Chains A and B, each alone.
Chain A
Amino acid sequence: MDFVSISVNGTELAGPAEPRNLLVEFLRANGLTGTHVGCDTSQCGACNVLVDGKLIKSCTAFAVELQGRSVTTIEGVAVGGALHPIQRAFHDYHGLQCGFCTPGMIIAALALLQENTKPTEDEIRAFLAGSICRCTGYQNIVTAIQAAAEQMESGNV
């Protein structure tokens, strides 16, 4: 058994882990159940998290690989109890139905808006290539991300 220590949402998360424990398993075993497992085959993006600011699928990385790195999960997106503009836009524009894909979608949107503050509809859809939603048909997810981008740009958050 190895000992893994990862900075998650700015707080040290340390605990025992076997090499075979996936990052998503380590997070969920430590109470962070917002990161979901949809497919476990790298297809759906329900398990999306940021590692040092970069989008990855936490079902396709071992926790031991991320020793000492900095991870952002859906639990770290809202600041001080106030929803992040992306979260609020998903709420306001009905960007979810069952909500299972939503944590992964919001993390993907966060990664996108970090590198492209004004994405077009095509750019949003291309970026979400690895994030699958079985409910919404994506239209309202795209609308929500566009609305969030506008609000974040105008500083009106």
Chain B
Amino acid sequence: MYDFEFVGPKTIAEAVDALRAEGSQPLSGGQTLIPTMKQRLAAPTRLVSLAEIDEMKGVQRKNNCIRIRGATTHAEVSRNVKDFPALAKLAGGIGDPAVRNRGTIGGSLANNDPSACYPSAVLASAATIITNSHEIAADDFFQGVFTTALAEGEIITAVEFPVPRRAAYLKFEQPASRFALVGVFVAQFESGVRVAVTGAGEDGVFRWREAEALLSGSFSPDAIAGLSPPADQMMGDLFGTPEYRAHLVGVLTKRAVAAA
């Protein structure tokens, strides 16, 4: 590994300050950033660790919302988010136990891997991303593969999830990486149903609005029988063609509705 500087602030304010220097980048669980640095796909000259900042950790219930602080690990979310079981289950299905003990929700969202699990939950729940400087609605946050609305040096301090009436996440695992080959998060609210798809869209996570409209009318798998999103908007790789992914989106959405 190449050489770099490491700082371990104790407060969000100190971290924001430390990130002002050119070449700085936040380090949270390191489960994406460290492998990326080893491959030189990223080469920050200074890492600002978020792992020792107490005000970045923990889960709280607030009225009808669950607030998860940015450096909360996947393992903690899977154990401590009792009122939103679909979200707890999603977190408990990320990677493997060692990855879940280090990896964090803020890191996953900031990274916005097109096959990551959390972005689908955030988008389907209409969650709010809270940063050190402002709040960003889920619909505005994800801006394409590995791209988000975060500015340089901006830190995700928390994510606020409205708790749906019912929800489920179904992931068809890529067996080697355990990321989603396709994953679908379905959430039903008073105001209607939201469906977010990861692992499939050529521009990353997306809302499948056609299914949302039909499921808002009737929340049953039959409401979307035979439906899939257009294959020409899906990604294709060694593990699945766009047509295969489009088909999986339809199948997993029906199963998620049945499971919710």
Binding site for B on A (CB under 8 A): 2, 18-20, 22, 40-42, 45, 48, 51, 54-57, 60-62, 64-65, 67, 108, 111-112, 127, 129-131
Contact = CB atoms under 8 A, between A and B. Distances in A.
Contact of A48 (B8, B47, B75, B98): B98
A129 B3 contact: no
A130 B35 contact: no
A20 B1 contact: yes
A70 B97 CA distance: 18
A42 B99 contact: yes
Interface of B: 1-6, 8, 27, 30-31, 34-35, 38, 47, 49, 51, 75, 95-99, 101-102, 178
Contact of B35 (A2, A41, A54, A112): A41
A40 B8 CA distance: 24
Nearest to A63: B6
Contacts of B8: 64-65, 67
A133 to B, nearest CB: 14
B258 to A, nearest CB: 22
Nearest to B34: A60
B57 to A, nearest CB: 14
B243 to A, nearest CB: 29
Q: Which of A45, A55, A64, A111 counts the most B-chain CB atoms under 10 A from its CB?
A: A55
A28 to B, nearest CB: 15
B97 A130 contact: yes
A112 B38 CA distance: 29
Contacts, number: 71
A111 B30 contact: no
Contacts of B98: 45, 48, 55-57, 108, 130
B97 A111 contact: yes
B6 A61 contact: no
B102 A61 contact: yes
Contacts of A51: 101
Given A19-B5, A20-B1, A41-B38, A62 B97 contact: no
A60 B31 contact: yes
A83 to B, nearest CB: 24
A19 B99 contact: no
Contacts of A129: 95-97, 178
Contacts of A127: 96-97
A60 B27 CA distance: 12
Nearest to A49: B98
A40 B35 CA distance: 8
B2 A60 contact: no
A57 to B, nearest CB: 5
29 contacts: A2-B6, A19-B4, A19-B47, A20-B4, A22-B1, A40-B38, A41-B35, A41-B38, A42-B31, A51-B101, A55-B98, A56-B98, A57-B99, A60-B34, A60-B35, A61-B34, A62-B6, A62-B30, A64-B6, A64-B8, A65-B27, A65-B30, A67-B8, A108-B97, A127-B96, A129-B96, A130-B97, A130-B99, A131-B96
B2 A62 contact: no
Contacts of B2: 20
Contacts of A54: 75, 101
Contact of B49 (A56, A65, A130): A65
A42 to B, nearest CB: 5
A65 B97 contact: no
A2 B49 CA distance: 15
A112 to B, nearest CB: 8
